[in-house]
Amino acid sequence: MNAGEFVAALRALRLWSGLSYRELAAKAQASGGSLPPSTITSMLGRNTLPRAPLITTFVHACGLDQDTADRWVAVRNSIAIGSEHPASAPPPELLESPPGSGTEQTPADLQVKRRSRSRPVVIGLGITLVLMISIAAFLLPERDGSQHDGVVAVPELPSTPTGAVAVPPNGWVRIRPVSAPHLCLTDGRVRDRRYVPLVAVQRRCDAVAPQGTMLESVGGDLYRIQWHHPDYGKGCLKALSDGPGIGLLEPMDECLQGSRFHLEPSAPYGSNRYVLRVDGQGCVGIRDSDASEGVEAVMERCVGRGGQVFLIEAAS
Protein backbone atom coordinates (compact mmCIF):
# COMPACT_ATOMS: atom_id res chain seq x y z
CA MET A 1 0.00 0.00 0.00
CA ASN A 2 1.39 3.38 -0.96
CA ALA A 3 0.14 6.96 -1.17
CA GLY A 4 -0.90 6.66 -4.82
CA GLU A 5 -3.08 3.62 -4.09
CA PHE A 6 -4.66 5.41 -1.15
CA VAL A 7 -5.56 8.42 -3.30
CA ALA A 8 -6.99 6.03 -5.90
CA ALA A 9 -9.28 4.68 -3.18
CA LEU A 10 -10.37 8.23 -2.34
CA ARG A 11 -11.27 8.74 -6.00
CA ALA A 12 -13.30 5.52 -5.91
CA LEU A 13 -15.09 6.76 -2.79
CA ARG A 14 -15.96 10.03 -4.50
CA LEU A 15 -17.41 8.17 -7.49
CA TRP A 16 -19.35 5.86 -5.18
CA SER A 17 -20.90 8.89 -3.45
CA GLY A 18 -22.27 10.09 -6.80
CA LEU A 19 -21.54 13.70 -5.80
CA SER A 20 -19.86 16.40 -7.85
CA TYR A 21 -17.05 18.50 -6.38
CA ARG A 22 -19.49 21.37 -5.82
CA GLU A 23 -21.96 19.07 -4.05
CA LEU A 24 -19.22 17.72 -1.79
CA ALA A 25 -18.15 21.28 -0.95
CA ALA A 26 -21.74 22.20 -0.07
CA LYS A 27 -22.19 19.14 2.17
CA ALA A 28 -18.94 19.88 3.98
CA GLN A 29 -19.96 23.50 4.54
CA ALA A 30 -23.39 22.45 5.84
CA SER A 31 -21.60 20.31 8.45
CA GLY A 32 -19.33 23.16 9.52
CA GLY A 33 -16.32 22.04 7.47
CA SER A 34 -14.42 23.52 4.56
CA LEU A 35 -13.79 21.57 1.35
CA PRO A 36 -13.55 23.89 -1.69
CA PRO A 37 -13.74 22.24 -5.13
CA SER A 38 -10.18 23.38 -5.84
CA THR A 39 -8.99 21.52 -2.73
CA ILE A 40 -10.74 18.33 -3.82
CA THR A 41 -9.20 18.67 -7.29
CA SER A 42 -5.74 19.00 -5.78
CA MET A 43 -6.27 16.15 -3.30
CA LEU A 44 -7.55 13.66 -5.88
CA GLY A 45 -5.17 14.74 -8.62
CA ARG A 46 -1.92 13.98 -6.78
CA ASN A 47 -0.21 10.85 -5.55
CA THR A 48 0.69 12.31 -2.15
CA LEU A 49 -1.13 11.75 1.13
CA PRO A 50 -3.72 14.41 2.04
CA ARG A 51 -3.75 15.82 5.55
CA ALA A 52 -5.73 13.76 8.07
CA PRO A 53 -8.33 16.50 8.84
CA LEU A 54 -8.99 16.89 5.12
CA ILE A 55 -9.63 13.15 4.79
CA THR A 56 -12.10 13.28 7.68
CA THR A 57 -14.01 16.16 6.11
CA PHE A 58 -14.01 14.43 2.72
CA VAL A 59 -15.29 11.09 4.08
CA HIS A 60 -18.07 12.87 5.98
CA ALA A 61 -19.07 14.82 2.86
CA CYS A 62 -19.35 11.51 0.99
CA GLY A 63 -22.03 10.49 3.49
CA LEU A 64 -20.09 8.25 5.89
CA ASP A 65 -19.87 8.36 9.69
CA GLN A 66 -17.08 9.26 12.10
CA ASP A 67 -16.05 5.64 12.74
CA THR A 68 -15.52 5.14 9.02
CA ALA A 69 -13.60 8.42 8.76
CA ASP A 70 -11.37 7.30 11.63
CA ARG A 71 -10.54 4.09 9.75
CA TRP A 72 -9.58 6.02 6.64
CA VAL A 73 -7.34 8.26 8.74
CA ALA A 74 -5.77 5.19 10.40
CA VAL A 75 -4.88 3.79 6.98
CA ARG A 76 -3.48 7.16 5.95
CA ASN A 77 -1.34 7.38 9.09
CA SER A 78 -0.02 3.83 8.71
CA ILE A 79 1.18 4.70 5.21
CA ALA A 80 2.72 7.95 6.45
CA ILE A 81 4.84 6.19 9.08
CA GLY A 82 5.82 3.39 6.71
CA SER A 83 4.07 0.59 8.59
CA GLU A 84 4.54 -2.88 7.08
CA HIS A 85 0.99 -3.82 8.10
CA PRO A 86 -1.51 -1.10 7.13
CA ALA A 87 -4.64 -0.78 9.18
CA SER A 88 -7.81 -2.51 8.09
CA ALA A 89 -9.83 -0.85 5.40
CA PRO A 90 -13.02 1.11 5.94
CA PRO A 91 -15.94 -1.26 6.60
CA PRO A 92 -18.30 -2.55 3.93
CA GLU A 93 -20.75 0.24 4.72
CA LEU A 94 -18.57 2.28 2.34
CA LEU A 95 -20.00 0.25 -0.51
CA GLU A 96 -23.63 0.43 0.59
CA SER A 97 -26.19 3.00 -0.51
CA PRO A 98 -25.77 6.17 1.58
CA PRO A 99 -28.69 7.50 3.59
CA GLY A 100 -31.15 9.70 1.78
CA SER A 101 -30.19 8.52 -1.71
CA GLY A 102 -33.72 9.24 -2.90
CA THR A 103 -35.96 7.51 -5.36
CA GLU A 104 -34.97 6.18 -8.71
CA GLN A 105 -35.36 8.56 -11.64
CA THR A 106 -37.80 7.84 -14.40
CA PRO A 107 -36.99 8.47 -18.07
CA ALA A 108 -39.45 11.38 -18.03
CA ASP A 109 -37.25 13.21 -15.52
CA LEU A 110 -34.06 13.33 -17.58
CA GLN A 111 -33.63 17.03 -16.91
CA VAL A 112 -33.26 16.29 -13.17
CA LYS A 113 -29.87 14.95 -12.22
CA ARG A 114 -30.44 11.81 -10.14
CA ARG A 115 -28.43 8.74 -9.36
CA SER A 116 -29.58 5.25 -8.42
CA ARG A 117 -27.45 2.61 -6.84
CA SER A 118 -27.53 -1.15 -6.60
CA ARG A 119 -26.36 -2.94 -3.46
CA PRO A 120 -23.01 -4.68 -4.05
CA VAL A 121 -21.58 -7.88 -2.64
CA VAL A 122 -21.14 -7.94 1.15
CA ILE A 123 -17.46 -7.99 2.13
CA GLY A 124 -16.00 -8.97 5.48
CA LEU A 125 -14.59 -6.44 7.91
CA GLY A 126 -11.09 -7.79 7.53
CA ILE A 127 -10.70 -6.90 3.85
CA THR A 128 -7.77 -4.59 3.20
CA LEU A 129 -7.81 -1.32 1.35
CA VAL A 130 -5.56 -2.79 -1.33
CA LEU A 131 -8.18 -5.39 -2.18
CA MET A 132 -10.86 -2.70 -2.24
CA ILE A 133 -8.90 -0.78 -4.85
CA SER A 134 -8.45 -3.85 -7.04
CA ILE A 135 -12.16 -4.64 -7.13
CA ALA A 136 -13.60 -1.12 -6.87
CA ALA A 137 -14.25 -0.88 -10.59
CA PHE A 138 -16.61 -3.88 -10.37
CA LEU A 139 -18.23 -3.12 -7.01
CA LEU A 140 -19.18 0.48 -7.64
CA PRO A 141 -22.88 0.68 -8.52
CA GLU A 142 -23.71 1.21 -12.17
CA ARG A 143 -25.05 4.59 -13.27
CA ASP A 144 -27.84 3.51 -15.60
CA GLY A 145 -30.34 2.59 -12.90
CA SER A 146 -30.19 -1.17 -13.53
CA GLN A 147 -30.31 -3.61 -10.63
CA HIS A 148 -28.25 -6.77 -10.23
CA ASP A 149 -29.79 -8.55 -7.21
CA GLY A 150 -26.85 -7.59 -5.02
CA VAL A 151 -24.11 -8.33 -7.53
CA VAL A 152 -22.49 -5.99 -10.02
CA ALA A 153 -21.70 -8.11 -13.06
CA VAL A 154 -18.22 -8.15 -14.54
CA PRO A 155 -18.57 -7.41 -18.26
CA GLU A 156 -17.30 -9.77 -20.91
CA LEU A 157 -14.15 -8.47 -22.55
CA PRO A 158 -13.00 -8.76 -26.15
CA SER A 159 -10.10 -11.13 -26.78
CA THR A 160 -7.19 -10.80 -29.13
CA PRO A 161 -6.34 -13.53 -31.69
CA THR A 162 -3.75 -14.90 -29.25
CA GLY A 163 -6.33 -15.16 -26.46
CA ALA A 164 -5.04 -12.18 -24.48
CA VAL A 165 -7.68 -9.79 -23.20
CA ALA A 166 -7.74 -6.38 -24.87
CA VAL A 167 -9.21 -4.08 -22.24
CA PRO A 168 -8.71 -0.34 -21.73
CA PRO A 169 -7.46 0.93 -18.37
CA ASN A 170 -10.00 1.21 -15.56
CA GLY A 171 -10.77 4.50 -13.86
CA TRP A 172 -9.11 7.80 -14.69
CA VAL A 173 -7.62 7.90 -18.18
CA ARG A 174 -6.15 10.14 -20.84
CA ILE A 175 -7.41 9.82 -24.41
CA ARG A 176 -4.83 10.98 -26.97
CA PRO A 177 -5.21 10.94 -30.77
CA VAL A 178 -2.30 9.08 -32.35
CA SER A 179 -2.27 11.77 -35.05
CA ALA A 180 -1.31 14.30 -32.33
CA PRO A 181 -0.01 12.35 -29.29
CA HIS A 182 0.98 15.52 -27.41
CA LEU A 183 -2.72 16.49 -27.26
CA CYS A 184 -5.59 15.05 -25.20
CA LEU A 185 -9.32 14.85 -25.82
CA THR A 186 -11.09 17.36 -23.55
CA ASP A 187 -13.59 20.21 -23.67
CA GLY A 188 -13.41 23.35 -25.77
CA ARG A 189 -15.23 25.50 -28.32
CA VAL A 190 -15.88 24.85 -31.99
CA ARG A 191 -13.46 27.01 -33.96
CA ASP A 192 -16.03 28.22 -36.51
CA ARG A 193 -18.47 29.09 -33.67
CA ARG A 194 -21.34 27.33 -35.36
CA TYR A 195 -22.20 25.69 -32.03
CA VAL A 196 -22.08 27.42 -28.64
CA PRO A 197 -21.88 24.65 -25.97
CA LEU A 198 -18.62 23.01 -24.95
CA VAL A 199 -17.70 20.02 -27.11
CA ALA A 200 -14.84 17.55 -27.41
CA VAL A 201 -11.64 19.03 -28.85
CA GLN A 202 -7.94 18.21 -28.64
CA ARG A 203 -5.81 20.37 -26.37
CA ARG A 204 -2.38 20.11 -24.75
CA CYS A 205 -2.41 17.34 -22.16
CA ASP A 206 -0.83 19.61 -19.55
CA ALA A 207 -3.71 22.10 -19.99
CA VAL A 208 -6.55 19.63 -19.38
CA ALA A 209 -6.62 19.82 -15.54
CA PRO A 210 -8.67 20.21 -13.42
CA GLN A 211 -10.98 18.21 -15.67
CA GLY A 212 -10.66 14.44 -15.43
CA THR A 213 -11.75 11.70 -17.84
CA MET A 214 -13.11 8.33 -16.75
CA LEU A 215 -14.34 5.27 -18.64
CA GLU A 216 -17.58 3.70 -17.42
CA SER A 217 -18.10 0.12 -18.60
CA VAL A 218 -21.67 -0.68 -19.64
CA GLY A 219 -21.00 -4.26 -20.79
CA GLY A 220 -18.85 -5.99 -23.40
CA ASP A 221 -16.75 -3.47 -25.32
CA LEU A 222 -19.24 -0.65 -24.64
CA TYR A 223 -18.25 2.34 -22.53
CA ARG A 224 -19.49 5.76 -21.62
CA ILE A 225 -16.89 8.54 -21.51
CA GLN A 226 -17.31 10.63 -18.37
CA TRP A 227 -15.86 14.08 -17.83
CA HIS A 228 -15.51 15.35 -14.26
CA HIS A 229 -14.94 19.05 -13.60
CA PRO A 230 -15.06 20.93 -10.25
CA ASP A 231 -17.17 23.72 -11.79
CA TYR A 232 -19.36 21.87 -14.30
CA GLY A 233 -19.74 18.57 -12.45
CA LYS A 234 -20.00 15.26 -14.29
CA GLY A 235 -20.96 14.95 -17.95
CA CYS A 236 -21.06 12.02 -20.36
CA LEU A 237 -20.15 12.50 -24.02
CA LYS A 238 -22.95 12.26 -26.55
CA ALA A 239 -22.42 12.06 -30.31
CA LEU A 240 -24.94 14.61 -31.64
CA SER A 241 -27.11 13.28 -34.44
CA ASP A 242 -29.08 16.40 -35.41
CA GLY A 243 -29.29 20.16 -35.04
CA PRO A 244 -26.51 22.74 -35.52
CA GLY A 245 -24.03 20.58 -33.60
CA ILE A 246 -24.59 17.43 -35.66
CA GLY A 247 -21.49 15.26 -35.69
CA LEU A 248 -19.91 16.91 -32.64
CA LEU A 249 -19.52 15.34 -29.18
CA GLU A 250 -21.10 17.22 -26.27
CA PRO A 251 -21.00 16.34 -22.54
CA MET A 252 -24.48 15.76 -21.08
CA ASP A 253 -25.28 16.25 -17.39
CA GLU A 254 -27.63 13.27 -17.52
CA CYS A 255 -25.42 10.33 -18.36
CA LEU A 256 -28.35 8.25 -19.60
CA GLN A 257 -28.29 10.63 -22.58
CA GLY A 258 -24.60 9.91 -23.23
CA SER A 259 -23.53 7.72 -26.13
CA ARG A 260 -22.28 4.18 -25.67
CA PHE A 261 -18.92 3.84 -27.42
CA HIS A 262 -17.54 0.57 -28.74
CA LEU A 263 -13.84 0.61 -27.84
CA GLU A 264 -12.42 -1.56 -30.61
CA PRO A 265 -8.72 -2.45 -30.38
CA SER A 266 -6.53 -1.16 -33.19
CA ALA A 267 -3.51 -3.28 -34.21
CA PRO A 268 -1.06 -4.07 -32.82
CA TYR A 269 -2.81 -5.65 -29.85
CA GLY A 270 -1.55 -4.55 -26.46
CA SER A 271 -0.71 -1.04 -27.68
CA ASN A 272 -3.71 0.56 -25.90
CA ARG A 273 -4.87 1.97 -29.25
CA TYR A 274 -8.59 1.99 -29.89
CA VAL A 275 -11.22 3.12 -32.36
CA LEU A 276 -14.30 4.69 -30.73
CA ARG A 277 -17.43 3.66 -32.66
CA VAL A 278 -21.09 4.59 -32.01
CA ASP A 279 -23.74 2.33 -33.54
CA GLY A 280 -25.32 3.99 -36.54
CA GLN A 281 -23.16 7.12 -36.33
CA GLY A 282 -19.68 6.01 -37.35
CA CYS A 283 -16.39 6.55 -35.51
CA VAL A 284 -14.94 9.40 -33.51
CA GLY A 285 -12.15 11.20 -35.32
CA ILE A 286 -10.20 14.43 -35.18
CA ARG A 287 -11.45 16.56 -38.08
CA ASP A 288 -9.18 16.01 -41.10
CA SER A 289 -6.67 14.29 -38.76
CA ASP A 290 -5.43 17.81 -38.03
CA ALA A 291 -2.64 17.90 -35.41
CA SER A 292 -3.39 21.52 -34.42
CA GLU A 293 -4.50 22.39 -30.90
CA GLY A 294 -8.22 23.13 -30.57
CA VAL A 295 -9.44 20.99 -33.46
CA GLU A 296 -12.78 19.37 -32.61
CA ALA A 297 -13.61 15.68 -32.57
CA VAL A 298 -16.36 14.68 -35.02
CA MET A 299 -18.26 11.58 -36.06
CA GLU A 300 -17.00 10.17 -39.37
CA ARG A 301 -17.33 7.13 -41.57
CA CYS A 302 -15.14 4.49 -39.96
CA VAL A 303 -11.74 4.01 -41.62
CA GLY A 304 -9.74 2.93 -38.54
CA ARG A 305 -6.66 5.05 -39.14
CA GLY A 306 -5.27 8.56 -38.72
CA GLY A 307 -7.31 10.78 -36.42
CA GLN A 308 -9.74 7.94 -35.68
CA VAL A 309 -7.22 5.99 -33.59
CA PHE A 310 -6.81 6.98 -29.95
CA LEU A 311 -4.30 5.98 -27.28
CA ILE A 312 -6.14 5.32 -24.00
CA GLU A 313 -3.86 5.14 -20.98
CA ALA A 314 -4.21 5.44 -17.21
CA ALA A 315 -3.92 9.02 -16.02
CA SER A 316 -0.73 9.64 -14.09
pLDDT in tens, 201-245: 999 998 888 889 999 988 888 999 999 988 889 999 999 999 999
Q: Average pLDDT in the 135-142 region?
A: 38
Highest mean pLDDT among 40-54, 74-88, 92-106: 40-54
User: Can you give the pLDDT at residue 91?
Assistant: 46
What residues are paired with 177 via a beta bridge? 310
User: Can you give the pLDDT at residue 269?
Assistant: 61
pLDDT higher than 50, residue 139: no
Question: Is the backbone of residue 247 left (phi > 0), alpha (psi -120 to 50) or beta?
Answer: left
Q: Average pLDDT in the 113-140 region?
A: 36
User: Can you give the pLDDT at residue 146?
Assistant: 37
**316: pLDDT confidence band, cut at 50, 70 and 90?**
low
pLDDT higher than 90, residue 281: yes
pLDDT in tens, 103-123: 444 433 433 333 333 333 333
pLDDT in tens, 155-178: 333 344 444 445 787 778 999 999
Higher pLDDT, 145 or 189: 189
What sign results for the dihedral spanned by CA atoms 240, 308, 274, 159?
positive
Residue 51 half-sphere exposure, CB side, CA atoms within 13 Å? 7
Q: Give the SS3 label for residue 68.
A: helix
**271: pLDDT confidence band, cut at 50, 70 and 90?**
confident
Query: Any idea of the CA torsion for 284, 198, 260, 178, to the nearest 10 degrees?
Result: 30
pLDDT higher than 90, residue 315: no
Q: Are strands 261-265 and 249-252 parallel, antiparallel or unpaired?
A: unpaired
pLDDT higher than 60, residue 251: yes
Whole-number percent of the chain with pLDDT over 90: 41
Q: Give the SS3 label for residue 6.
A: helix
Distances (CA, A) of 31 to 24, 57, 70, 230: 11, 9, 17, 20
Whole-number percent of the chain with pLDDT over 70: 71
pLDDT in tens, 185-206: 999 999 988 899 999 999 999 8
User: Can you give the pLDDT at residue 171?
Assistant: 78
Q: What angle do CA 258, 262, 264 make, to 5 degrees?
A: 150
Higher pLDDT, 31 or 151: 31
User: Can you give the pLDDT at residue 129?
Assistant: 46
Q: Average pLDDT in the 292-316 region?
A: 92
User: Can you give the pLDDT at residue 114?
Assistant: 30
Q: Which residues contact 170 (CB under 8 A, 6 or more apart)?
A: 137, 215, 314
Higher pLDDT, 182 or 97: 182
User: Can you give the pLDDT at residue 105?
Assistant: 43
What residues are paired with 148 via a beta bridge? none
